[in-house]
Structure 1
Amino acid sequence: MQYKKGLRGYIAGQTSICELNEKTKRITYRGRDIETLAGKVPFEEVAYLLLGSRHASWFELNEFKIRVCTSFCSFGLGKWEKVAETLAALPPEAHSMELLRHIINAFAMYDDRRKPQDEAHDREIAIDLVGLMIYFVALVQRHKEGLSPLLIIPSDKGSLAANIFYLLGKKPSPLEVEVMDVLFTLYAEHEFNGSTFGGVRMAATLDTDIYSGMINGVGNLKGLRHGGANEATWGLIQSFADVVDVEDYLLKKIGETLEQKAGWKMPGFGHAVYKTGDARVPIIKDYIYRLSREKKNMIYFDICCKIEQAMLKAHRLYPLKKYPSFRWWFPNIDFWAAPVYYLMGIPHYLNTPLFAASRIAGWAAHWIECKYELKEKLIRPRAKYIGPKPQT
């Protein structure tokens, strides 16, 4: 049996949901390029596409949009009070993703539909979760800030992107709503990443319930080498605020590290699939520029540009053939998304929970595909044993 670290280069399964083409740097959802989706259609339509595998008519999309935007109202006050009681027992200083995981688990315990039944049953829960996740994120914020867990019901005439701000107690500009919507689209799905394959699809083959699969996804997304990189990246960007010459500082740091033959990895740079760039970066970078202009705050946009330019120069100075440990020279979406939340006045501890709220559509689509459409076999790889030899 063959073995390769990180299963790099191995095809672990089939999917019709998302294609990542690292050669052309194209990402497609059900055959539609993200460049034709992000900023062109609302996130609700993207979620419908991922879950429904076909284009929505105006009536279907409007019905779906109302459903997800009012999902909070579909469950009695008693259930939300029980969720609030569970949350109240948790320490506010806990990591936001741990709080989010407990909220989903508490909600699942009081949902009579939690037991596995059939595809239609799981699809209904999936649609509800697309809308409910922003409420769960708002509960995280309110708990960490010592506020009442009771939430105001937003209007069904809004959108998920607009309702996020509403639930967080903010009045967004039209551009802020548009940027949030675009971020949700860009983060909605990304093939067999760690949370989708290792968390959701693995669980789907074990015949557990859909909530368990989504909670697995949240747990994996917390990792610093996955969604948690978003928060780490913001810390990095902030650390450069007082650096006079970003390029000089970075080049010296990289040079010293490589000469010592130590591995170099910077949060927000590189990717396990892409080798030359992330197709999502040019899209969000344009929106960050516009948002920075609107806020009259170009500081962090300028810092990000300087870091990006310095890493590109370092790539030329330290070629991969001579310095194989320095392969992560291009920014990924986490690098450029990190300052967005800051510019919109959203606490940094909600960066990863908001990532989860957008990715729930992709996770649910993979759950349905793996469990019902492909009827995948139990995922059970083998291990290469490297321990001591059997004693005689």
Structure 2
Amino acid sequence: MGTKDTTTRQYAELIVDGRTHRLPIVEGSEGERAIDIRRLRAETGLVTLDSGYMNTGACTSSITYLDGERGVLRYRGYAVDELADKCSFVEVAYLLVHGTLPTRRQLTHFSRLLGRYALIHEDMIHFFDRFPPHAHPMAILSSMVNALSTFYPEITENPLENLDCMVARLLSKVRTIAAFSYKKSIGHPLVYPRHDLSYCANFLNMMFDSPVQPYEIRPEAVAALNKVLILHGDHEQNCSTSTVRIVGSARVNLYASISAGISALWGPLHGGANQAVVEMLERIYNGGGDFRKYVEMAKDPSSLFRLSGFGHRVYKTYDPRARVIKKTCDDLLEALNVSDPLLDIAKELEEYALKDDYFLERNLYPNVDFYSGIIYRALGIPKNMFTVMFALGRLPGWIAHWKELWDDPESRLYRPRQIYTGPGAREFVPLDDRVEAGDEDVPCAGR
């Protein structure tokens, strides 16, 4: 329980072996409270055990506020739904990194930098030819981003000296790399970025323009992509963001830190969830469209089937991003005159889940991944690019956290502790005296 001393600072009391230890309580700007255990091991010889870091605050941060119980998400104090409704992705990227929304002059300058740095070094284009034809775009993206440090080493010398150039270079080049990786995967010629197009319009044009079939840039498509990227802009200390901070704590350059974040995002439990949703909806559709059968399978503890797109590690109510993305999905499909049977199944499934006690008792509400994949389908983006799109959206958040880490005078190398559960001290046995345990050589597959 918390107590107060004469300086009105709050403390928690921990009793270990009959001795009382007072641990400071830290309070954030939104009333979040945490017990500061940074002196715990020095004072008690103990560490905490928190698998998955569910109850551990690894840092203080002024970037994103998330309240999972109330369904609140704010970037730098601004509600995410308001930003998605009123801002471009470039504005929100600026906000996340700098802490304030840009003025018109600042936005114009930043947008020009994005145009200036859109091209990647021509020698890097040959890298795409060395990947296998069906290499996953996330593997290509992670490798190419890491390689950027060899072509632009000046960013590693004093990375915060010219912040706008650093941020614009990474935001713009990652967009180009993502589009190029898709073009290479389908054997189409590359489409270079244009200075006269906005960030999202440029990406769509690089993805889908062709010498034999020019791409029509629909404003509705651009608007939808802006919203989806904004909604993915940051999400507090998630797996990939924590990875960026962990790697960055070793004072690794920004490119390597972002590359590590991309690899973490690739996991199906993290950024790959939107692809899993579409594959689930496809399975339901191909199985006759009776989603209730699959709902019952998901409820059965003995079944391996799981419904994707429901529930969240943090949110215990409706994901605030899901409301925005659902409307965005409806508006886009109506504007493009697209009829998607998967959307029909998704709507019926959502309506059913929001009335079913099984879902409600377990706080299994639709999350942001539930509709984002359908939006990508409508835009023509293939499933293996879904996680790449997530990375594009999350990029400014990663950069903001990396910068915050570097700016923090109290930042230290991340080095978690563990509780060892292996064997105790053993006596060494020479090789010839070791008893065989029936081990046999097992041939390895491949070459």
Q: TM-score, normalised by structure 2?
A: 0.79
| 2:334 is the counterpart of 1:293 | yes
| 2:145 is the counterpart of 1:101 | no
Taking structure 1 as reference, are residues 212 and 252 closer, same or farther at Cα in structure 2, changes over 3 Å only? same
Aligned sequence identity (%): 26
- What is the alpha-carbon distance in structure 1 between the residues aligned to residue 306 and residue 49 of structure 2? 24
Q: What residue number does 1:87 align with?
A: 128
Superposed, 1:19-168 pairs within 5 Å as 19-73=65-119, 79-80=121-122, 82-121=123-162, 124-149=165-190, 151-156=191-196, 158-168=197-207
Structure number with greater CO (CA < 8 Å, separation at least 6) is 1
Q: What residue number does 2:445 align with?
A: none
The amino acid that maps onto 1:183 is V
| 2:399 is the counterpart of 1:364 | yes
- The structure 2 residue matched to 1:353, chosen from 353, 368, 388, is 388
Q: What residue number does 2:283 align with?
A: 239
- What is the alpha-carbon distance in structure 2 between the residues aligned to residue 230 and residue 318 of structure 1? 19
The amino acid that maps onto 1:162 is A
- The structure 1 residue matched to 2:374, chosen from 315, 323, 339, is 339
| 2:260 is the counterpart of 1:216 | yes
Moved more, 55-64 or 328-337: 328-337
1:29 Cα offset (Å): 0.7
- What is the alpha-carbon distance in structure 2 between the residues aligned to residue 342 and residue 107 of structure 1? 30
Q: TM-score, normalised by structure 1?
A: 0.89
Q: What residue number does 1:324 align with?
A: none
**Conserved? CA contact 1:138–1:167, under 8 Å:** yes
1:369 Cα offset (Å): 0.3
- What is the alpha-carbon distance in structure 1 between the residues aligned to residue 342 and residue 175 of structure 2? 26
Q: What residue number does 2:235 align with?
A: 190
Deviations 1:245-273 (A, max 9, x none): 53421233134x22x3x677432221111
Q: What residue number does 2:353 align with?
A: 311
- Structure 1 unaligned regions, length at least 5: 321-326
Give 3-state SS (helix, strand or coil) of 1:93's partner: coil
- Structure 2 unaligned regions, length at least 5: 1-46, 210-214, 428-447
Give 3-state SS (helix, strand or coil) of 1:99's partner: helix
Give the structure with the larger strand fraction: 2
RMSD of the TM alignment (CA)?
2.0
Taking structure 1 as reference, are residues 247 and 364 closer, same or farther at Cα in structure 2, changes over 3 Å only? same
**Conserved? CA contact 1:201–1:367, under 8 Å:** yes
1:118 Cα offset (Å): 4.0
Taking structure 1 as reference, are residues 106 and 222 closer, same or farther at Cα in structure 2, changes over 3 Å only? same
Moved more, 346-355 or 238-247: 238-247
Count of matched residue positions in the alignment of Structure 1 and Structure 2: 374
- What is the alpha-carbon distance in structure 2 between the residues aligned to residue 142 and residue 193 of structure 1? 30
- The structure 1 residue matched to 2:221, chosen from 176, 185, 188, is 176
- What is the alpha-carbon distance in structure 2 between the residues aligned to residue 48 and residue 114 of structure 1? 18
**Conserved? CA contact 1:17–1:30, under 8 Å:** yes
- What is the alpha-carbon distance in structure 2 between the residues aligned to residue 23 and residue 387 of structure 1? 38
Taking structure 1 as reference, are residues 172 and 237 closer, same or farther at Cα in structure 2, changes over 3 Å only? farther
Q: What residue number does 1:270 align with?
A: 311
The amino acid that maps onto 1:175 is E
- What is the alpha-carbon distance in structure 2 between the residues aligned to residue 129 and residue 278 of structure 1? 29
Give 3-state SS (helix, strand or coil) of 2:132's partner: coil
- What is the alpha-carbon distance in structure 1 between the residues aligned to residue 364 and residue 99 of structure 2? 35
Give 3-state SS (helix, strand or coil) of 2:318's partner: coil
Structure with the greater alpha carbon radius of gyration: 2
- What is the alpha-carbon distance in structure 2 between the residues aligned to residue 102 and residue 381 of structure 1? 27
